[in-house]
């Protein structure tokens, strides 16, 4: 059993970190025939690109994950147990700080500086957790929160407001708008991590 598990782990680790897949690799990961992958690619159900100067199909990792999720194919064989976190803040230093706090193997972190970008990235990146600032240059964090909560596709996405808002009633309002947690700035890095872990477990 112990041998089996380690074999499995190495098998899973095979694809870790790989960002672009061939149709053969994708078929292997999805445990379907290459023809099926090609058909889905050609019909537009699986997005990707062709290698310039040739007709070879290539599939980006995120798109493959999306495809697998949509078709309820277990992600285990992709060997990707890193959780995706989207940081939305208009202050690049804050984004850098959060990225440094979450640095490591366990999280894959993307960032957005506006509510608009946050919306686009949520669709592309499919984050497990969104760390959302309240005051954004274009739209308020609460509107972003409303939009995400309004889309059934993202029911599994957890939203944590990370904000300097000090007004207690405002905080209550944010939590009511569908956020799962509130972390007040300035935060303790440990508190932020604990909150993220707690929400990932549920």
Partner 1 sequence: MSDVPVVANVQALLERIDTLPSPSALALRLVTTANDETSDVRDLVAIIQQDAALAAKVLSLCRRGPRGRALDVASLDRAVVLLGFGAVRAAALAVEFIGSFPASGAMATSGFDSMRFWRHSVAKSIVAEAASKFVRGAPGAGRPSVVGLLHDLGALALSRALPALCDRCCDEAERLGRDFDDVVADAVGLSASAIGGRVAARWSLPDEITESLRMRGALALAAQGPHRPLVLLAQLADIVVRQRHVGGAGFGPGAEPLPPLFDALAIDATRFAAAVASLFDDLAARTEALGFASPPGAALAAESLDRANRRLGLARHNPDATFADISDELAAATDPASVLSCIVRQIGRQDGRPADADARVLAVSPAAEGPGCEVREFSRDGALVASRIAGEGDLDGAVTVRRWCQLRAPTGTPRHLAVAQRGATLVTLYRADGDVIPLTVLDQMPVAIWAFALGAALDRERARRAAQRSADAARLLAACRDKIAKDRALASVGELAAGLAHELNNPLTIASGRAQLLRRAATDATAHELDEIVEAAERASALVASLLRIARPLKPSCCEVDASAIIVLALRVLPAVVDLNRVIVAATLNQSAPIACFADPAQVAEALAEVVQNALSATASSRAQISAECDARADRCMISVRDNGPGFSERGLAHAVDPFFSERSSGRGTGLGLARARTLVEASGGSIELRNEASGGATVTIVLRRCAKVTSGVTIDEESTCRTEVAPLQDAV
Q: Is 97 in the site for partner 1 (CB under 8 A)?
A: yes
- SS3 state at 133: coil
Edge-to-edge strand order for the sheet containing 20-22?
Answer: 20-22, 57-60, 49-50
In 3D, which of 64, 74, 75, 7 has the Cα closest to residue 41?
A: 64
Taking CB under 8 A as the rule, does residue 101 contact partner 1? yes
String marking each residue 37-76 x if it binds partner 1 according to CB under 8 A: ----------------------------------------
6/16 Cα distance (integer angstroms): 15
C-alpha span between 16 and 18 (Å, rounded): 6
Check: CB of residue 160 under 8 Å from CB of residue 193.
no
Query: Could you tell me which stretch among 9-17, 40-48, 142-150, 158-166 binds partner 1 (CB under 8 A)?
Result: 158-166
The residues in 179-198 that bind partner 1, with binding defined as CB under 8 A, are: 184-190
Q: From the CB of 202, what's the least distance to partner 1, in Å?
A: 26
Cβ proximity to partner 1, 130 vs 192, nearer residue = 192
Distance of closest approach, residue 122 Cβ to partner 1, in angstroms: 23
Q: What does R_g of the chain's alpha carbons equal in angstroms?
A: 19
Query: Which residue's CB is nearer to partner 1, number 116 or number 187?
Result: 187
Binding site for partner 1 (CB under 8 A): 91, 93-94, 97-98, 100-101, 134-135, 163-169, 184-190
């Amino acid at each position: 059993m112990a041998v089996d598990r380690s074999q499995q782990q190495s098998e899973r680790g095979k694809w870790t970190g790989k960002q672009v897949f061939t149709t053969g690799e994708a078929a292997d990961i999805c445990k379907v025939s290459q023809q099926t992958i090609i058909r889905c690619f050609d019909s537009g159900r699986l997005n990707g690109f062709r290698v310039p100067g040739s007709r070879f199909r290539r599939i980006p990792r995120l798109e493959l994950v999306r495809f697998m999720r949509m078709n309820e194919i277990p992600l285990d064989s992709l060997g990707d147990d890193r959780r995706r976190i989207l940081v939305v803040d208009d202050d690049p230093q804050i984004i850098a700080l959060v990225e440094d706090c979450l640095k490591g193997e366990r999280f894959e972190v993307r960032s957005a500086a506006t509510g608009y970008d946050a919306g686009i990235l949520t669709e592309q990146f499919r984050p497990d957790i969104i760390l959302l600032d309240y005051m954004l240059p274009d739209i308020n964090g609460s509107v972003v929160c409303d939009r995400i909560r309004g889309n059934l596709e993202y029911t599994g996405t957890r939203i944590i407001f990370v904000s300097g808002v000090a007004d207690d009633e405002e905080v209550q309002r944010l939590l009511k708008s569908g956020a799962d947690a509130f972390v007040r700035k300035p935060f303790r890095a440990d508190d932020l991590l604990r909150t993220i872990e707690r929400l990932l477990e549920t």
